[in-house]
Structure 1
Amino acid sequence: MTADLRLEPRWIDGFAHVFGLCAVQRGDVCAVLSESASRRDLVQLAELGLARLGARVFHVVLPQRPVTTPVPVRSTGASDAIGGIDAVVAALARCSFVADCTVEGLMHAPELPAILAGGARVLYVSHEHPEILERCLPQPGDDAPVRDAMRRLKSARRMTVTSAAGTELEIGLEGARVGGVWGFTSKPGTLGHWPGGLVLAFPAAGRVRGTLVLDRGDVNLTFKRYLADPVRLVIDDDHVVDVVGDSPDAQMMRGHYAAWAEHEGHRGAYAVSHVGWGLNRRARWDAMLFYDKADFNGTELRAFGGNFLYSTGANEVAGRHTLGHFDLPLRGCTVALDGEVVVDAGRLV
């Protein structure tokens, strides 16, 4: 549990600003969803931000569920806080807006489709220090570059990713599901997260192969760690088939993958979840240096402009389910769609 912080007036201003971008109106019925392990400052800021807009606010607070895996579950975006409780789903689905303050967020939670089907708009407020949210405050118009990137990604058939460090990836996009987030959401039945600013594709089965090289300074967000030495991932038929390297970074990745395979009885944790790139020019690659791990969730590093984000784990499009998940933002990559470069050596085109 993080220490209680004094709630700065500017943070309340920021929450009200973002919820206003989510089209919250006076009189709207809005829920603040949290769990016992949620940051209390974010829960209070969500309530105060909604109240400033004149919304009618109520809280849904759930106890943290027991740990059932031998491996720590981090960075999944699939909160298990609701635990399939129908009454909670029904209450959230009937809201105009839900401020999601759970630790992992509802992005990939099994209850999310039913909540969205009721017409609720859901915004995951990333589980980190309010200063990070303040620096990455979304603005009107932030959706435009993400929407443009989504259109490009939806019309492409092939993504290639290369880097001076040795990355050479081929990704087929036929049958992929494309999504994007920009820090707010105003359409009923949709979800966003703050910070935002990235575009993603969930490839269909059997579409990814090649080599992914994590260079020094690249990020393993599941471990909340900048790499000290390169790690080379050999990928065939969507799955990491070899983690090459003798450094502690490589050893820890091998051990984490193997632990999930042993626990789950399959190799789903080794497989691709999603691929994409960051578009947020206000987000910073070096931000993790300035915060304790308990104050940093890493959503900012998933979105910093020009990063290539490769993630392994659950992928509903490919029919794969696992709790094991790595989010790996890489710098210095060139990303091309059907030969047209959209990120040039880590620089947004």
Structure 2
Amino acid sequence: MLVERIEHKWIAAFQRTFSLCNVQAGEIVAIVSETQSRRVNVDLARLALEAMGARPFEINIPSPVLSAPVPVRSTGATHALQQLGPVVAAMARASFIVDCTVEGMLHAPELPVIMKGADGNVPRLLMVSNEHPEILERTVPDPALEASVRSAMRALRQSRSMQVTSDAGTQLHIDLQAAVVGGVWGFCPKPGMVSHWPAGLALAFPKAGSVNGSLVMAPGDVNLTFKSYLRDTITLTIENDAITQIEGTGVDADMMRGYYQAWEDLEGHRAAYAVSHVGYGLNPQARWDAMTFYDKRDCNGTELRAFAGNFLYSTGANEVAGRHTLGHFDLPMRGCTIALDGQVVVNRGALV
């Protein structure tokens, strides 16, 4: 088991990443965490910022009371801030924010207000994923990732449709018209930018009624909400965005059915079954097999969202489609072919 302690090499990794974020001497930086955050990452961030001559301050908030009868994982939407006005105001006045909350602030309800800034200041925010520092060390952002991700984002914006197929049997059609496109390359040097580390993927949030077909997950594909590799085949039938059938005889399918059912029972609707976002990974540093080497507590799985050539299918909240839920699955898949308006961009899991 890896030890969580201060290592000079990890301070250096944080410094390299913060340098890409254009952190300057004298800059005021907010480090935001909660009581269940991985404390070593908070300390590494502070030490790295101090070594760079920045002026960091810490905001630590009690982790919120559980709001659901099942564990909430992999949402990218922390509820730790609880709309606390002084906390939101302090973050809005920092020029750089290091987000060390457990789930991250990418989809937090307070983020739009924070990113508007205050007093003429517009912050930039880097979410440090809740990973062991060794994972962060291996995935320090490569400046070349920006061009790759921007190119993929342009392709998604300019396309009307995405077609996903695989030898396992996937046949999925996604209408990209009116979709909102995003992407992250692991650093944020300009005001108003938001990114996360590890990174390296491009995504589209489709409008309502845009996704139809079948998604066949094969052994070795990944369920990041459960932090597990599939042992069995699962076939998902998708009609007008929503999963209508989950076919499979093994424990993987049983666990997926059970988790979805828990959210349906709790919320009284089926938003958790519907598509959140689709996209593909572009990071050659990120590894599909990375979870093999870490205990579950050491790994948040963000690296596996970004490994080069994966098709990432996610279900749950999608503001573009007007759906809100805490139930969420991130499902990176290998061996898929992805075509945008007929142009292949990923061929059987390999970037074109």
Q: TM-score, normalised by structure 2?
A: 0.98
Inter-partner Cα distance in structure 2 for 1:337 and 1:49: 41
1:195 aligned partner: 198
Partner SS state of residue 289, structure 2: helix
2:229 aligned partner: 226
TM-aligned CA deviation for residue 140 of structure 1? 2.0
Amino acid at match of 2:142: Q
2:74 aligned partner: 75
Inter-partner Cα distance in structure 2 for 1:335 and 1:310: 12
Partner SS state of residue 269, structure 2: coil
TM-aligned CA deviation for residue 293 of structure 1? 0.5
1:54 aligned partner: 53
Inter-partner Cα distance in structure 2 for 1:285 and 1:101: 24
1:158 aligned partner: 161
TM-aligned CA deviation for residue 139 of structure 1? 2.1
1:328-343 to 2 correspondence within 5 Å?
Answer: 328-343=331-346
Amino acid at match of 1:32: I
User: Do the aligned residues in 1 keep the contact of 2:150 with 2:183 (CA within 8 Å)?
Assistant: yes
Amino acid at match of 2:60: V
Partner SS state of residue 26, structure 2: coil
2:298 aligned partner: 295
Inter-partner Cα distance in structure 2 for 1:87 and 1:348: 45
Inter-partner Cα distance in structure 1 for 2:161 and 2:96: 36
Amino acid at match of 2:100: C
1:146 aligned partner: 149
Inter-partner Cα distance in structure 1 for 2:156 and 2:110: 27
Inter-partner Cα distance in structure 2 for 1:178 and 1:348: 19
Partner SS state of residue 44, structure 1: helix
* Partner deviation per Cα, 1:164-207 (whole Å, 9 max, x = no partner): 00000000001100000011111211210000000000000000
1:108-147 to 2 correspondence within 5 Å?
Answer: 108-118=107-117, 119-147=122-150
TM-aligned CA deviation for residue 5 of structure 1? 2.1
1:301-312 to 2 correspondence within 5 Å?
Answer: 301-312=304-315
Inter-partner Cα distance in structure 1 for 2:317 and 2:3: 34
Amino acid at match of 2:41: L
1:15 aligned partner: 14
Matched, 1:325 2:325: no
State the identity as a percent.
61
Amino acid at match of 1:271: A
TM-aligned CA deviation for residue 212 of structure 1? 0.4
2:211 aligned partner: 208
User: Do the aligned residues in 2 keep the contact of 1:4 with 1:40 (CA within 8 Å)?
Assistant: no
Please, which of 259, 279, 283 is the counterpart of residue 280 of structure 1? 283
* Partner deviation per Cα, 1:42-64 (whole Å, 9 max, x = no partner): 00001011111111110000001
Inter-partner Cα distance in structure 1 for 2:34 and 2:301: 20
Inter-partner Cα distance in structure 2 for 1:192 and 1:49: 18
1:32-111 to 2 correspondence within 5 Å?
Answer: 32-111=31-110
Partner SS state of residue 331, structure 2: strand
Inter-partner Cα distance in structure 2 for 1:335 and 1:231: 19
Inter-partner Cα distance in structure 1 for 2:294 and 2:139: 15
Amino acid at match of 1:52: A
Partner SS state of residue 142, structure 1: helix
TM-aligned CA deviation for residue 3 of structure 1? 8.7
Amino acid at match of 2:221: D
Amino acid at match of 2:136: L
Q: TM-score, normalised by structure 1?
A: 0.98
User: Do the aligned residues in 2 keep the contact of 1:308 with 1:333 (CA within 8 Å)?
Assistant: yes
1:348 aligned partner: 351
How many aligned residue pairs are there?
348
Structure 2: segments with no counterpart, 5+ residues: none
